[in-house]
Amino acid sequence: MSSSSSPLRIGFVMLHTSPLDVPGTKDAGGMNVVVRAQAEALARAGHEVRIFTRRSDPAPPDQVELRPGLTVVHLAAGPARLLAKGEHESVMERFGELLEVELQREPVDLLHAEHWFSGIAALPAARRAGVPLVQSYHSIAAPVDSPLTDGERPESPGRLAGERRLAHEADLVIAVSEAERRTVLERLGGDEDRVRVVPLGVDTELFHPCATRDCMEDRDWLSSGGRPEAIVVGRLHPLKGFDLAIDAVAAIDAERRPALRIVGAPPPDGDDYVRALHDAVARHGMLRTTAFDGALRRSDLAERIRRAAVMLVPSHSETFGLVALEAAASGVPVIARAAGGLREAVLDGETGMLIGSGSGTGAEDADDPTVWAAAIDRLLGDAELRERMGAAARDHALARSWDASAARLAGVYREALGR
Ligand code: UDP
């Protein structure tokens, strides 16, 4: 077993999206942010990290060094173009073979697979190389006909069985929240003894409260037509419940209604949902007060969030809900559905409000836009409450650094190596 200070050679396996992709586009989202942030923090701590990803674009070189100690390796499994998410199942085997060749050339101490495609591809390679496999799911599929509150539906036939297999065969499973840990145990029949919770972090330098006069003036609504702004951020997917955010804002009296900013782009097969969102905005007569920004780069996104009065997170299910923590770091209160990891990312009544938690807004039907409207209206009408929640949110985020998250992760790696 390696000592607690010796550097590790870590192989992240990230088959279906690249750490070089812009989050909020294609299928890139929270997983890309998390892998990149944890890999960078591990490299900063002196570990040697390689991220193996599928080549989905002919342009980049085989290896891209992101910083000393952190390299992205492209494996040419399947065509060098973007695939629909479900199509990745057909390239798992080839990816695993190429991974094995890479590991022979340059060994690692352990593999950490992100999402089930990566886990199934990496399992045989890990076994043959004699190194442990640590598995992160990022999301765990719900049966095809279950409600949206149960999470993402499988995009390809092998997913449910693949996720279950990994719960049994990976050396350790990493969950990002207690909620995800329960899902691993209950839905996948995972072994309690082999699941570890490693909470995610947030970049509190990138995401910070308003620090310039211009920003504060915006936040205090001197621009944007005198209206406060509510912001929603994420891939434009029905799971995110952005339709509910639009209906909620529409349910607020027109003179007190905030502007609504929607940030993010649809996944490759998501155009119908985007059309439905635009139609809803038009139907409610909110075209002039609603902005669709598309996907934003991290620094532009951070700038947008800190200027908002409130962030809404109406997701039907969320393993963690990184955007809620990013808002907290920005000193912006969050109104979120009391679902999955959002129950941990938002402290109800302190850093924001949880809808459907049984506290706060009375009726508490989390699908009812008027319940959301009442919460938004209450927060926007109470400057003192906003201020207090914003300050508590920033404190909450300051306790969650990526360095701390990565240190915990390294501890799990050493544990896997010692088993
Ligand atoms: N994101 C971004 N630009 C965008 C939209 C989203 O950088 O235009 C980021 C967002 O800040 C967050 C991640 O993508 O870090 C989404 O993570 P989350 O856990 O909220 O959702 P997921 O994509 O994992 O379902």
Residue 83's domain spans which residues? 9-201+401-418
H or E stretch covering 63: strand 63-67
Residues 185 and 296 in one domain: no
Residue 268's pLDDT is 77
Residues 244 and 191 in one domain: no
Residues 313 and 387 in one domain: yes
In a domain, 206, yes or no: no
Q: What is the pLDDT of residues 186-240, one digit of tens each?
A: 999 999 999 999 999 999 999 999 999 989 888 887 666 689 999 999 999 999 9
Residues 41 and 106 in one domain: yes
> What is the count of structural domains for the chain?
2
DSSP letter string, 305-372? HHT-SEEEE--S--SS-HHHHHHHHTT--EEEES-TTHHHHS-BTTTEEEETSSSSSSS--TT-HHHH
Please give the distance of CA 396 from its chain centroid, rounded to a whole number: 18
Provide the residue count of the chain.
419
Ligand 1: does its nearest atom lie under 6 Å from the Cβ of 321?
Answer: yes
Contact 118, 128 (CB under 8 A): no
Residue 363's pLDDT is 47
The reply to whether the predicted model has a pTM over 0.85 is: yes
* Residue 73: strand pairing partners: 52, 63
CATH code at position 383: 3.40.50.2000
Residues 405 and 394 in one domain: no
Ligand 1: does its nearest atom lie under 6 Å from the Cβ of 329?
Answer: no
Residues 284 and 183 in one domain: no
Residue 267's pLDDT is 84
Residue 256's pLDDT is 93
In a domain, 353, yes or no: yes
To test the ligand 1 pocket, which listed residue (233, 297, 337, 405) has its Cβ within 8 A of the most ligand atoms?
Answer: 233
Residues 405 and 393 in one domain: no
Q: To which residue do tokens 């996944």 refer?
A: 267
Residues of the chain scoring pLDDT < 50: 1, 360-363
Residues 45 and 65 in one domain: yes
The CA-based angle 198-317-404, given to 5 degrees, is 20
Ligand 1: does its nearest atom lie under 6 Å from the Cβ of 296?
Answer: yes
In a domain, 91, yes or no: yes
Residues 241 and 277 in one domain: yes
Assigned token pair, 192 = 């309690």
Helix, coil or strand: residue 69: coil
In a domain, 208, yes or no: no
Ligand 1: does its nearest atom lie under 6 Å from the Cβ of 340?
Answer: no
In a domain, 54, yes or no: yes
Residues 49 and 174 in one domain: yes
Residues 115 and 223 in one domain: no
Integer Rg of the chain from CA: 21
Residues 182 and 284 in one domain: no
Residue 3's pLDDT is 60
